[in-house]
Chain A
């Protein structure tokens, strides 16, 4: 069993419930917050179906992206042993040492994605090459013995899987007393292949036609880096001696660089391998495709706001490079959107949305009226219409249908124009608007892109593109616009085509007019750095004033202006659109809380402000005072924060008991409570100390006891760690995490395992 926990410790695993009750429960949970007037069930159903569609899409993308790699691998595996079998009699094959065919599969550092890749790889191999696949992980194989056990176990099991039940007794017997050696593996392989040759019942025939006569045994080392050198070496040496009897193929899953093979294996061992390199697609490209397929399409009604998208992309680029995590985050956005926004019921295909608008309840209409974007819209209308919108539900619904239609049209137009603009900006030097289309998308979502400086400079650069580039770009743009569904583009396409023909016509005329400006134009293309470009731009400006523009230049100016007008028309940021709240998820803070948890800050908040997690009214503190209702550890923690470099243990104890007994008044029996306090307090001191030690990386003070022999006067040193000069400020609650499980945090802080780490000086 493994955990996804970031910390180390003991974990309790409860057996997972067999039945799936999740789907029934969730729509109940959706309802939890509000009553059913807000179409909870419908929202839940919409959410589910939308997510299922998107999931299918992502899986499809994954499959397509891996296809090339897997095809190469499959052909490698087929080739690997067939060659030697075919011409076993030739002189070269007799003399050559048989090397173990090995595929080094470089997968990139996004380790979390590898599991999925390996799973689909083994599926592909099982379907097309061989049923005998073993996947090994380093943590299961600390020694060669464990490795062999794991390998043999997996191979024998897969044997059962393939040939179903008829041979089960055979396997059962052998598995109990199997010897974990290569010989038993060879015997097993011999018996398995012989059986498929001789018997060939109908079921087996299908399998043997897919695989061929003696299929190779594929051993996959999932995380090559983590294997110990010794284990790998031994395994390779052993299997190289039996390569004639057991057609073994190794696949090394490599996260960093293939150099690791040379680092791990000495020459004497690596010379036993016949290593071929396979590189998977980089995760960044993978992400681009996913974004392209999920976000930059009018196909799905759900959209991400600029901030949310930025958070997701930042987590990807800054932290993990994991596409899986990106998709998980995306899923979270969908769920959160449908959960928190009652109007998300309208976040579906236009036809359905129109139908749903008609059946909206009154409270939902009120929700719409409350939307900021809708209010802006209302304010812009004439007064009679305003009243009608705010009072008559029927009229409101009509308007909403129209607005929704507008929004859909906007999306349908936005994407192609965005792509066109990207074609222009992505070929400019230094990429003022970003190289990737997602950056351009973010810029367009953020605010009016044409008001930004980057846009200005990119237009200027675009005015200096040469003709052949312009022509190819225009052609691409025409293709994009033609293939898009938006009907408004007929005119645009015609206009662009006109530009195209004009440019092509110029070619003939250009011979006469090719003068200074053209040659200077050519010079421009050679120089790529911005400084030179700007300089020559200024020069050009000068000359432009004095000289008449050539035909080409005039045309180019016209074209750029036309593109500019397109951008101004269609790339309006989404939050300027009425009713965008229905489709756009924009609460980035929620996402950040969930995906980018800060354990130390959460801990600090929990101790400093227990109300935040416990939500007990009594704990609601006002400012700096320390409430005696708070859990003991919180009181002790707060008191320790008030102290400077040193804490006198007895003072601390005194302060603690004052706080605790403060509210109870002097008439309580002080004598008995004092004694209890001592014990409680000492326990708390220990806990606080553990907290400090646990929040590693903090500069929080580390404690050193100075035992003077007299318990009363024990002095606790509270030393500022040397790292305090660089401690980032704790930013309070803004980054709290684990909000969903308030109880667990407190449980964690109070019921931690005893692990006293005291330094006695």
Chain B
């Protein structure tokens, strides 16, 4: 295991740093060697990428904070326009130097930013230190003005100050590179934590009442269940805390001691499996889960979110939805066969275009005009339907409920086109309530 070494920083700080960033020592030492000493110019821009919760943000924050390097840390999702982003950076720069009150500085574009940045750095005693600007969730930068990303990459050059921009993101650099080209940052990859890493990190924060070994055994069981579906450290941590009290139960009751791993495993394993199906998927919330645990209730009695799939609709809305589904999944020319009394027979194999042979349920819904929807509606409803305003407004309601979606632009007043967005299961459930055998009317199931 490489110990962190750097001449510029005291060994005690480095040791502390090392204990804070387990399993990321090599990345940290790499970063340290890129940063160099405080006053040394570093690489203008560094691009760090890696999967969700591979410790990018955490490592960066801990590194900068522990070594007390002057830095600015912004999340690009939170500051969603370039203006907000630039102003936030300036604000944080001001607040780094405790000399004056932070005040709001308007900053509209990047050249303003460069000017104001120079002022902010000059006004501080830290001119001879590298200032780090960390942009978390940097993929958002691509959505802003075209000049923002290239300008950040060259900030050192543009401002002529000792500054390093660090981009943190989950996607690779190739997806960032603008067509026009730009300064290439130094890319650094944070690999996923392995199961051993996860075990080590999770076991580190054991509750004070219990021994580290006891907690590590628990983490081992937890990982055995959840590692298959979830490698997100944060989520695992959350789940570990949620279920730990259940794990301790036999110990608290005095039925088992801390070393009785097998008994404890038998106790916790089914519980964890249930947790995987419910609380992990957010079918029931973690607070509900905790309450269930507390009351020793069965999770079965609490219905999850997915259990409530039933949607109650007015009578004609149901038929409208069915008509829309038929219009979306049947080829238009087969309507005659389905809805006319004296129809000719359609042979599925002959004289058919190639694309019609493939199941339209695999391709997805096709758009259809309003005329066709209403025509099908009139023929599937038993009694006569007057084309009242209520019918038309129901179509609009279905669109707002996201059961239908409008194709094309909203402005098109005549001949609007729709798509049906519900699933086959859903429409079958709806059709069953009005005694309509939808399968008989679907071309795919002929």
Query: Is A274 at the interface (CB under 8 A from chain B)?
Result: yes
Task: Let me know if A258 and B77 touch, CB within 8 A.
Answer: no
Query: Is B393 at the interface (CB under 8 A from chain A)?
Result: yes
Task: Let me know if B87 and A179 touch, CB within 8 A.
Answer: yes
Task: Let me know if B402 and A600 touch, CB within 8 A.
Answer: no
- Which residues of the partner chain B approach A546 to less than 8 Å between Cβ atoms? none
Task: Let me know if A179 and B378 touch, CB within 8 A.
Answer: no
- Pick the most buried of A95, A182, A234, A731: most chain B CB atoms within 10 A of its CB: A95
Task: Let me know if B414 and A108 touch, CB within 8 A.
Answer: no
- Pick the most buried of B78, B207, B232, B310: most chain A CB atoms within 10 A of its CB: B78
- Which residues of the partner chain A approach B339 to less than 8 Å between Cβ atoms? 725-726
Instruction: Tell me the minimal C-beta distance from A127 to chain B in angstroms.
Output: 25
Task: Let me know if B78 and A255 touch, CB within 8 A.
Answer: no
Question: Quick one: CB contact mask for A86-114 with B, threshold 8 Å, 1 for yes?
Answer: 00000110011101011010101101000
Query: Is A183 at the interface (CB under 8 A from chain B)?
Result: yes
Distance between Cα atoms of A318 and B234 in the complex (Å): 49
Nearest-CB residue, chain B, relative to A102: B285
Distance between Cα atoms of A79 and B288 in the complex (Å): 12
Task: Let me know if B371 and A317 touch, CB within 8 A.
Answer: no
Query: Is A617 at the interface (CB under 8 A from chain B)?
Result: no
Instruction: Tell me the minimal C-beta distance from B368 to chain A in angstroms.
Output: 12
Query: Is A6 at the interface (CB under 8 A from chain B)?
Result: yes
Query: Is A547 at the interface (CB under 8 A from chain B)?
Result: no
Query: Is A145 at the interface (CB under 8 A from chain B)?
Result: yes
Task: Let me know if B388 and A693 touch, CB within 8 A.
Answer: no
Instruction: Tell me the minimal C-beta distance from A252 to chain B in angstroms.
Output: 11
Query: Is A696 at the interface (CB under 8 A from chain B)?
Result: yes
Distance between Cα atoms of A489 and B104 in the complex (Å): 80
Contacting A at CB under 8 A, from B376-404, are 376, 378-379, 384-394, 396-397, 400-403
- Which residues of the partner chain B approach A277 to less than 8 Å between Cβ atoms? 303, 305, 308
Contact partner of A696 among B88, B313, B371, CB < 8 A? B371
Task: Let me know if A144 and B80 touch, CB within 8 A.
Answer: yes
Residue total for B at the interface (Cβ-Cβ under 8 A): 78
Instruction: Tell me the minimal C-beta distance from B138 to chain A in angstroms.
Output: 14
Task: Let me know if B312 and A91 touch, CB within 8 A.
Answer: no
Task: Let me know if B282 and A273 touch, CB within 8 A.
Answer: yes
Nearest-CB residue, chain B, relative to A182: B78
- Which residues of the partner chain A approach B352 to less than 8 Å between Cβ atoms? none
- Which residues of the partner chain A approach B240 to less than 8 Å between Cβ atoms? 95
- Which residues of the partner chain A approach B403 to less than 8 Å between Cβ atoms? 256
Query: Is A367 at the interface (CB under 8 A from chain B)?
Result: no
Contact partner of B287 among A274, A316, A722, CB < 8 A? A274
Task: Let me know if A106 and B308 touch, CB within 8 A.
Answer: yes
A97 with B379, Cβ < 8 A, contacts A225-B402, A234-B77 known? no
Task: Let me know if B389 and A6 touch, CB within 8 A.
Answer: yes
Nearest-CB residue, chain B, relative to A698: B387
Task: Let me know if B386 and A601 touch, CB within 8 A.
Answer: yes
Question: Quick one: CB contact mask for A239-273 with B, threshold 8 Å, 1 for yes?
Answer: 00100000000000001111111100001101101
A598 with B207, Cβ < 8 A, contacts A109-B397, A181-B88 known? no
Contact partner of B394 among A274, A319, A727, CB < 8 A? A319
Query: Is B199 at the interface (CB under 8 A from chain A)?
Result: no
Interface stretch of the complex, out of B6-14, B38-46, B217-225, B314-322: B314-322
Query: Is A429 at the interface (CB under 8 A from chain B)?
Result: no
- Which residues of the partner chain A approach B401 to less than 8 Å between Cβ atoms? 109, 111, 225, 255-256
Query: Is B344 at the interface (CB under 8 A from chain A)?
Result: no
Task: Let me know if A104 and B234 touch, CB within 8 A.
Answer: no
Task: Let me know if B370 and A258 touch, CB within 8 A.
Answer: no
Task: Let me know if B81 and A145 touch, CB within 8 A.
Answer: yes
Query: Is B75 at the interface (CB under 8 A from chain A)?
Result: yes
Query: Is B408 at the interface (CB under 8 A from chain A)?
Result: no
- Which residues of the partner chain A approach B387 to less than 8 Å between Cβ atoms? 598-601, 697-698, 728
Distance between Cα atoms of A737 and B312 in the complex (Å): 29
Distance between Cα atoms of A260 and B426 in the complex (Å): 13
Query: Is B286 at the interface (CB under 8 A from chain A)?
Result: yes
Contact partner of B314 among A144, A182, A319, CB < 8 A? A319
Contact partner of B370 among A108, A237, A238, A697, CB < 8 A? A697
Task: Let me know if A226 and B402 touch, CB within 8 A.
Answer: yes
Contact partner of A262 among B288, B305, B373, B397, CB < 8 A? B305
Task: Let me know if B396 and A6 touch, CB within 8 A.
Answer: yes
- Pick the most buried of A80, A144, A179, A697: most chain B CB atoms within 10 A of its CB: A697
Distance between Cα atoms of A617 and B378 in the complex (Å): 38
Distance between Cα atoms of A316 and B316 in the complex (Å): 11
A111 with B372, Cβ < 8 A, contacts A319-B390, A696-B414 known? no
A320 with B314, Cβ < 8 A, contacts A97-B238, A241-B78, A596-B390 known? yes
Contact partner of B305 among A241, A258, A321, CB < 8 A? A258
A-B contact pairs, 23 of them (CB 8 A): A96-B238, A96-B242, A97-B237, A109-B314, A109-B317, A109-B397, A111-B397, A182-B78, A234-B80, A238-B75, A258-B306, A262-B306, A271-B282, A275-B305, A276-B287, A277-B305, A315-B390, A596-B386, A598-B386, A599-B387, A599-B392, A696-B371, A723-B374
| Chain B residues at the A interface, C-beta cutoff of 8 Å | 52, 75, 77-81, 84, 87-88, 104, 205, 207-209, 232, 234-235, 237-238, 240-242, 244-245, 281-282, 285-288, 303, 305-306, 308-317, 336, 339-340, 370-376, 378-379, 384-394, 396-397, 400-403, 410, 413-416
Lowest 6 CB-CB distances: which A-B pairs, in order? Answer: A723-B375, A697-B374, A319-B390, A274-B285, A318-B315, A693-B414
